[in-house]
Amino acid sequence: MIAKIVNGDQELMQAFSVRRKVFIDEQKVPAEEEIDQFEQSCTHFLLLEDDNPIGAGRFRIIDGKGKVERICVLNQFRGNGAGKLIMDKIEEYAKDGSVEYLKLNAQTHAIPFYERLGYEVISEEFLDAGIPHKSMQKQISII
């Protein structure tokens, strides 16, 4: 498996394809909520297994904090380090920027995964696309 920054429209479409399968098909998130107005201002990431797209995510900076979004891995590849690979790649990218913290909104079932990566819950539970979430944060550098 290899995690990489999306380069070009073909890889972006591969990332969208994974997101579509996970969020729209599997989790029933409305398509208009999944693909949003921030796509063009994000840095996108793709996880490949034998050149096949199996995971995706995106990153953007909001109010001086790095925001990790849309992290997903196809069902059959979960539980074998795939999610950690894509998160490691995003964090590596973010450390080259000028952000001290990374923030994400985790589906509540995924909180233990993000806690193992050093994220801490910083909010009460809320619904996003009808799915329970909590905000989490991790310090990645001291500015």
CATH number at residue 106: 3.40.630.30
Residue 143 has pLDDT above 80, yes or no: no
DSSP strands (E only) in the chain: 2-5, 43-49, 52-62, 65-73, 101-107, 120-121, 126-128, 131-139
> Domain residues for 11?
2-139
User: 71-110, pLDDT tens digit by residue?
Assistant: 999 999 998 899 999 999 999 999 887 788 999 999 999 9
Q: How many helices and strands (H and E) does the chain possess?
A: 4, 8
114-130: pLDDT as tens digits:
999 999 999 999 998 88
Percent of the residues in the chain that have a pLDDT greater than 70, as a whole number: 99
Helix (H, G, I), strand (E, B) or coil at 69: strand
Number of structural domains in the chain: 1
Query: Residue 68's closest CA among 83, 78, 53, 51?
Result: 83
